[in-house]
Amino acid sequence: MSSDPSVSAYLISSSDAGVSAAFTRLAQADLDPGEVTVRVQYASVNYKDALAATGKGRIIRRFPCVGGIDASGVVVASDAPQFKPGDEVIVHGHGFGVSHHGGYATLARAPAAWVNRLPAGMSLLDAITLGVAGYTAALGIDAMELNGLHPSKGKVLVNGATGGVASVSIDLLAQRGYEVVAVTGKPAQAPYLRELGASEVIASADLPSGTRPLEPALWQGAVDSLGGAPLSMLTRSVRKDGVIAAIGNAAGLEFTTSVMPFILRGVRLLGINSDNDPPLREHVWQRLATDLRPRHLARIAHVVPFEQLPQAIDAVIGGQARGRTVIRIGG
C-alpha cells in the first residue's frame, strides 16, 4: 500500500488458504474512485457482511476489498453537485463493500448514486441502525402495500424475527397499525420482539409443517428473511390475495411449492432487491423519516467499537446477534 497510510480499514483478502480479513492502513489514494468522500462515523454488520468477511458466502467480487455494505458519516469532499462537505449521508448498495471498498474504514469514497443525504430529523446512528437491513425492510413494506397489504386485512408474519431486516420490519409494521406475528428460532427473545411491536411470537418449531399444496390460510402477508423451507410454507399458508416479500436466504437458496397458491389464492410473491437507483432510494429513505418512521431503533441497535468488529462478525455468523450490530468507527 501507499506511504501515506491515513485510513484505518478492515480489509478482506483471498489467498490459497482461503478468505481472511484483518485491520490495516490504507492511503486515501488507495480508495476506489467516486464523486463523494465520506468521513465514516458508523458502519454495521449485515448477514451479507458476515458471509463476506468469513468467506462463508461468495460475496466479495474483487479482492482485496474493504468490507462493510453500509456506512453513515459526513461528506468531506464531493465532485457531485447534490452533495457538499458537511452533509450527513448514508452510503449503501451496488458494489459498496463487495466490489468497491466499503464502510469498514475511517474514510469511504463512492459514486454519488450510492449515497443519500439523511432526511431531516434522522441522526447518523438512526441511519446506520436502519442501514441496508432497514432500507430493505421499508422497500419490502412499500412494495407489499402497493400490492394490497393493509392493516385491516389481518396478520402479517415476520420470520427470522430477531434478525436485522426482521427487527426493523416488526417495528415498521406495528407502527403502521399491522398485527404482527414474529416467528423466531429463539423463543426466549419473545420479550424483545413484543417490545418492538409483535402481538404474537411463535417458535419456528411450532409453525404448521404440512406438505399439502395449500395449507390453512393464516396470514395476509409475510416478510421472509429465510428462503428455503420456511418460504415454501409461507406460499402455502398465506390467505387469498396475500403478499409475500422474499428478501433473504438465511435458511436456504431453494424452495419448492406448486402453482396452487398463485392460481387458487392469487398469492403475490414479491422479489425484493435493495440495489436501487436514486429516485427509489430517495422515496424509501423519506418514508423511513415520515410515515414509516421506526419507534424502537435504540432497542434494535447494539453498538460496538471498530476494534471489536471481528468478534461482532463472528456473533452474526454464529447466530448469536440480535437486531442490528452497529460499528462505531469515527468520533
Binding site for ligand NAP (CB under 6 A): 46-48, 132-133, 136, 160-166, 184-186, 204, 225-226, 247-251, 272-274, 316, 319
Q: Which is nearer to ligand NAP, 9 or 272 (CB)?
A: 272
Distance separating alpha carbons of residues 212 and 156, to the nearest angstrom: 21
Per the DSSP assignment, residues forming a β-bridge with 284 are none
CB of 184 to ligand NAP, least distance (A): 3
Among residues 20 and 249, whose Cβ is nearest to ligand NAP? 249
What is residue 105's three-state secondary structure? strand
Pair 169, 223: CB distance under 8 Å: yes
Nearer to ligand NAP, 267 or 321 (CB): 321
Contact, 39 vs 330, CB < 8 A? Answer: yes
Helix (H), strand (E) at residue 51: helix 47-54
Q: Contact 98/65 with Cβ under 8 angstroms?
A: yes
Q: Which is nearer to ligand NAP, 21 or 26 (CB)?
A: 21
Output the smallest distance, CB 14 to ligand NAP, in A. 20
Maximum pairwise Cα distance, the chain: 66
Helix axis angle for 309-317 and 47-54, nearest 10°, is: 110
Among 264, 34, 279, which residue's Cα sits nearest to residue 142?
Answer: 279
- What are all long-range contacts of 278-282, with beta carbons under 8 Å and residues at least 24 apart? 278/113, 278/116, 280/139, 281/93, 281/116, 281/135, 282/116
Torsion over CA of 139, 140, 144 and 145, rounded to 10 degrees?
-40
Task: Report the distance separating Cα 198 and Cα 174, nearest Å.
Answer: 7
Q: Which is nearer to ligand NAP, 7 or 222 (CB)?
A: 222
Using alpha carbons only, give the angle 295, 300, 305 rounded to the nearest 5 degrees: 130
Q: Which 8-state DSSP code applies to residue 107? A: E
| Contact residues for 25 (Cβ-Cβ < 8 A; gap 6+) | 1, 5, 6, 7, 8, 9
**In terms of Cα–Cα distance, which of 192, 185, 160, 195 is closest to 47?**
160
Q: Least distance in Å: CB of 39 to ligand NAP?
A: 25
C-beta of 66: minimal distance to ligand NAP in Å?
19
Residue nearest to ligand NAP (CB): 163
CB 46 → ligand NAP: shortest distance, Å? Answer: 4
Select 153 or 186, whichever has its Cβ closest to ligand NAP.
186
Q: Which of 237, 274 has the CB closer to ligand NAP? A: 274
Minimum separation from the CB atom of position 188 to ligand NAP (A): 10
Task: Select 140 or 242, whichever has its Cβ closest to ligand NAP.
Answer: 140
Residue 79 beta carbon to ligand NAP: minimum distance, rounded to whole angstroms:
28
Q: To the nearest whole angstrom, how small is the minimum distance from the Cβ of residue 182 to ligand NAP?
A: 8
Q: How far is the CB of 42 from ligand NAP (least distance, A)?
A: 16
Instruction: Give 124 or 316: the residue with its C-beta nearer to ligand NAP.
Output: 316
